[in-house]
Amino acid sequence: MWELRISRGRLPLSGLVDLAPTLEALERAGGNASPEDFRPVLAAARAAEAVRRFLEATESRALSARRDALPRFDALLQSARRLFDADGALRDDASPRLSELRSRLRRRRNEVADRMTRLLEQRRDVLGDALLVQRNDRYCLPVLASARGRVPGIVHDRSGSGQTVFVEPMEVIEANNELALMSGEERREVERILTDFGRAVLERAPDLEDAVGTLAELDALEAKVEFGEISGGRIPEISEDGSWTLTGARHPLLDPRLSALRRRVLGETRPERPVVPLDLELSKDRRLLVVSGPNAGGKTVVLKTAGLFSLLAQSGFPVPASAGTRLPLFDSIRAEIGDAQAILADRSTFSSSMEILAGILAEAGPGTLALVDEIGGATDPEEGSALAVAWLEAFLAKGGRAVVTTHLSAVKTFAGSRSDAFCSAMEFDEATGAPNYRLHPGLSGRSHAFSVARARGIPEAVLGRARDILGEAWRRREEAETEAERALERVRRLEREAEAERRRAEEEGERLADEREAVRRERARWLEEGKKGFDRARVELEREVERELARLREDASRLSKASASRLLENAEKGAEAAGPALEEAREAFRARGERLEVGGRARLSGGRSEGTVVALEKDGAWVEVGGKRMLLPREALEPLAPSRPSKRPVPPAAATTRGPSVSARTGEVNVIGRRLDEAIEEVERALDVAILAGDSHLRIVHGHGTGRLRDGLREHLRAHRAIATLAAAPPREGGNGATIVELK
C-alpha cells in the first residue's frame, strides 16, 4: 500500500459510508425509498468499481486478493445511470409511462397557469399580491380577506397576518382536479420505479456489505500508511529471536510531528515542545527490565512506549522510530498503569493494583508481556517491596516478560542479582534539578527526591532534617551512587569526546584525500596540456615536412636548398612554441615508458585502447590489443597497473602491425552525452591517434539530440587543417547522428 500510494496516490474512496442502516431501512420498506436514500448505495458501488480499476496494475498479491474479492456492480450502476440524473433526481425518461405522464403534466400545468394569469389581471383590485400560489398542490389566488365574497371559489388557507385568504377560483377547480389525478398517477409510477430498483439493491445487499468491508480494510491500510507518512515512521523489523530494540522511538502523544494531528483529533492546546527519543535494547535473554529514576523523569513514558510500539507493530502500523527498530511478537500484552481506585466499589489504589496483578499472573506464560508502573507502591515500602519481588519471581518462572518501573531499592537489587533481568535509569541533571528524559542502561538509578523537592520549593531546613532521619548509612549509599553516576558521566563525556575526535579525524582524512585528488588532477591536466602541445607541434611539423618534400619533388634543383632552410627554421619554431610544457611532457613520457613491465597493462596516450605488454625493446614495447600485437614507442604508452611478468614469447615480425589504434573499434569515437568542450577534446585526441595510425577516415558518433553538439563539432572540424572533407554518415550508419571525416 505504501508503494501504491507513492506511485498512484490515494485510493478513490470518496463518499463511502457504512451501508448497514440504509440497507436495514430499505428492507423494512420492502425496497421503497426516495432517490436520496440510494445515494450511499450508489457511492459504495462506484467506489468498489473505481478501486478495482485503481488496483488493476498492482503486483502485490495481498492487494490483488482484496481487489479480486470486490463484487462487480456494473449492471446495478448501469441501471442507476438510466434512472437517475447527475444530481440524484429521477429522470423523466426512467420509464416510457413516466415520460408520458410528466409531459402531460407539464402541458396541463402550463394551461392552468395561463388561465390563472388571466384571472390575476382581471381581479387585480381584490388581490393582496399579484402572484400565483399553490396550496395543497392546487393553484390559488391571494385574495384580500375584505373582498372574499367577490371571488367565488374554495378557500384553502389564510396568511399568517389574516389579511389574505388563498382562494381556488371556480373557473379552475376542474383543471386542478385533473392536475391532482395526473400527479397521483405520476407519484405511483415513480414509486413503482424506485421500489423495483430498491428490490434490485436488496438482492445485492450481501455483495454490497462485503464490498464495504473490503473497502474498509483498504481504507484502514491507507490510514496506516498516512500515519507513517505524517509521523516519519517506518515498518519495524519483527525480531524472530526475541530481542528488543527501540531506536529513536517517539511516543505519538509527545511527537512534535503529530502535534497538528493531535490538535485536530484530540483538541490538544498545549504548545509544541521538543521530544527526547527513546533508545532501548534488550537481548532475548533479558526478560525483565526495571526502570528507575526521579519522579516526572519519563519512566512511565518508557513503559507506555514499549507496550504501544509492540501493539502498533503487531497491528501493522508504521512506528515513529528510526532505522534499526526491532520488536518481538507477543501473544498477550497486559498492563497495570495508573491509579485504578474505585470509591463506590470500596476499592483502594493498592487493592486495585493487586487485583490486576493477580489477573496478569494467572494468565502468565511464554509470549506474555506485563507492563507494571510503580510495582509494589501505594503501601508500606517493606511489604510492597516483598510483594513486588515475589510477584516478579513467579511471573518470570512462568516464562513471561515484564517491564516495570519502581523507586524501591529491593526491586532494583532483585533485578541486579539475576542474569535474565536488567536495570536502567532515567538521567537527572543535579545542577538544574530537572530530568533529561534519557534512559541510561545498566544503572539502578536514584529517585532524586531531595533534588526534586528543593526545585519545587521545599525549605533547605526540612531537607536537612530528612537527611538526618535517614541516617549515616543512607548518606554513604547516596554518596556512592552519586560518585557512580559522576564516573558514568565522565565515561560518557570521554565517549562523546572520542566520537567527536573520530569525526574530526575522518573529516580531516577526507579533506586531505580531496586535496591529493585535486593535486593529482592538476598534475594530470598539466601533463595532458603539455602532451597536446607536443602532439600538435609534431603533427604540424610532419605536415610541413610532407608539404616541403612535395615541393622539393616538383623542383628539386631549384628549391632544394631553400626548402631545407625553411624546414629547419619551421622545426625550430615548432620546438620553441612547445616551450617548457613540451620538455616536461617529454620527461613525463620517458619516465612513464620506463615504468612499463612485461605482463602489465598499458593504454595508448590520448585514446581508450588498452593492451597487455608482452615484450620490451630498447625504445619500444610489444603490446597486444584486441588480439593484434603492435610495436609502439615507449613514450606513446601509459602504464595502468603493475602485473607479474608474462612468459609469452615475443611475436615474430611477420605477425605484427606497427602503429597506434584509435580505439577497440578502429576509426570511431563516441561523444554522446558530453559537453561541447569535452567532446572537442575527445575528438582532437581521436584525430591525433588516427593520423598517427595512418587512418584515412574517422567516424564521430554524437547522436541527434538538440543538434547543438553536432553543429558545434562540425563547425570546429571544418577549420581543422588535417581534415579534407566531412559529411553526415549514411542512413544505415546513423545518418545525421554521426559525422564521417576524411583525413588529408
Instruction: Count Cβ atoms within 10 A of the Cβ of residue 78 and give its class: 0-12 exposed, 13-18 middle, 19 or more buried.
Output: exposed
Reported as a pLDDT band with limits 50, 70 and 90, residue 663 is very low
Q: 645 pLDDT exceeds 70?
A: no
* Segment 413-428, tens digit of pLDDT: 888 888 889 888 776 6
Summarize the confidence of residues 464-487 as an average pLDDT: 67
**Strand ordering across the sheet containing 620-625:** 628-633, 620-625, 610-616, 601-604, 637-641
- Weakest-pLDDT range from 66-80, 102-116, 174-188, 420-434: 420-434
Separation CA 605–CA 586 (nearest Å): 13
Determine which of 35-39, 236-240, 560-564, 734-738 has the lowest per-residue pLDDT on average: 560-564
Model pLDDT, residue 54? 92
CA-CA distance, 377 to 388, in Å (whole number)?
Answer: 9
Examine the pLDDT at 534 and tell me if it is beyond 60.
Answer: yes
By the 8 A CB rule, do 592 and 626 touch? no
End-to-end CA distance of the chain: 65
Q: Quick one: pLDDT at residue 584?
A: 59
Q: How far is CA 678 from the centre of its chain?
A: 37
Torsions phi, psi for 266 (to 5 deg):
-105, -5
pLDDT band per the 50, 70, 90 thresholds, residue 647: very low
* Residue 57 cell numbers, joined: 496494475
Half-sphere exposure of 228 (CA within 13 A, CB side): 23
Neighbouring residues of 159: CB distance < 8 A, sequence distance ≥ 6? 128, 142, 165, 166
Across 245-254, 326-335, 383-392, 625-634, least confident range: 625-634
The predicted-structure confidence for 372-416, as pLDDT tens digits, reads as follows 998 888 777 788 888 889 999 999 999 999 999 888 888 888 888
* pLDDT at residue 526, as a whole number: 81
Over residues 663-667, the mean pLDDT reads: 47
Any idea of the CA torsion for 536, 542, 543, 544, to the nearest 10 degrees? 100
Confidence of residue 151 (pLDDT cuts 50, 70, 90): confident
Pairing of strands 368-372, 401-405: parallel
Please give the residue that has the higher pLDDT: either 161 or 21.
21
DSSP symbol at 248: E
Confidence of residue 606 (pLDDT cuts 50, 70, 90): low
Integer angstrom CA distances of residue 668 from 462, 607, 682, 685:
94, 11, 11, 12
* Alpha-carbon gap, residue 115 to 169, rounded angstroms: 11
Confidence of residue 657 (pLDDT cuts 50, 70, 90): very low
- DSSP 8-class letter at 649: P
Q: Considering the chain, what percentage of its residues have pLDDT values greater than 70? A: 80
pLDDT band at 344 (very low <50, low <70, confident <90, very high): very low
CA 269 to chain CA mean position, Å: 30
pLDDT at 123: 78
What pLDDT, on a 0 to 100 scale, did the predictor assign at position 307? 93
pLDDT at residue 430 tops 60: no
pLDDT of residue 218: 93
Average pLDDT score over residue span 120-140: 81
How large is the C-alpha radius of gyration of the chain? Answer: 47
Say what the pLDDT of residue 627 is. 58
The packing angle between helices 96-122 and 173-203, to 10°, is: 150
Per-residue cell: 66: 482484496
Kindly state the cell numbers that stand for 599. Answer: 605482463
Question: Is 340 a residue whose pLDDT tops 70?
Answer: no
pTM for this prediction = 0.53
3-state secondary structure of 627: coil
Locate cell 554513604: which residue? 476
pLDDT of residue 561: 46
β-pairing, 610-616 with 138-144?
A: unpaired
Question: Phi/psi of residue 640, each to 5°?
Answer: -100, -50
User: Average of pLDDT values for 64-75?
Assistant: 92
pLDDT averaged over the chain?
80
Task: Locate 299 and state its grid cell.
Answer: 519512566
* d(C-alpha 93, C-alpha 12), whole Å: 30
d(CA 668, CA 332): 72
pLDDT at site 442? 65
Determine the Cα–Cα distance for residues 86 and 552; give it in Å rounded to an integer: 97
Which pLDDT score is estimated for 379?
Answer: 77
Which residue from 662, 654, 652, 668 is spatially nearest to 688, judged by alpha carbons?
Answer: 662
Can you tell me the distance from the alpha carbon of 723 to that of 741, in angstroms, rounded to the nearest whole number? 7
Over the stretch 279-306, which tens digit does the pLDDT of each residue have? Answer: 888 888 899 999 887 766 678 889 999 9
- pLDDT band at residue 560 using 50, 70 and 90 as cut-offs: very low
Distance of CA 659 to the CA centre of its chain: 56
Residue 492, C-alpha cell as written in the block? 560518557
Share of the chain above pLDDT 90, in %: 24
Q: How confident is the model at residue 628 (pLDDT cuts 50, 70, 90)?
A: low
Residue 660 has pLDDT above 60, yes or no: no
| pLDDT given at position 399 | 92
Taking the C-alpha atoms of residue 419 and residue 380, their distance in angstroms, rounded to an integer, is: 28
Q: Which three cell numbers stand for residue 311?
A: 501493539
Q: Does position 597 have pLDDT exceeding 90, yes or no? A: no
Query: Which of 407, 334, 413 lies closest to 375, judged by CA?
Result: 407
pLDDT at 213 over 90: yes
Tell me which DSSP letter residue 127 carries. B
Could you give phi then psi for residue 675, rounded to 5 degrees? -70, 165
Where is average pLDDT lowest: 2-6, 131-135, 455-459?
Answer: 455-459
Q: Which residue has better confidence, 175 or 666?
A: 175
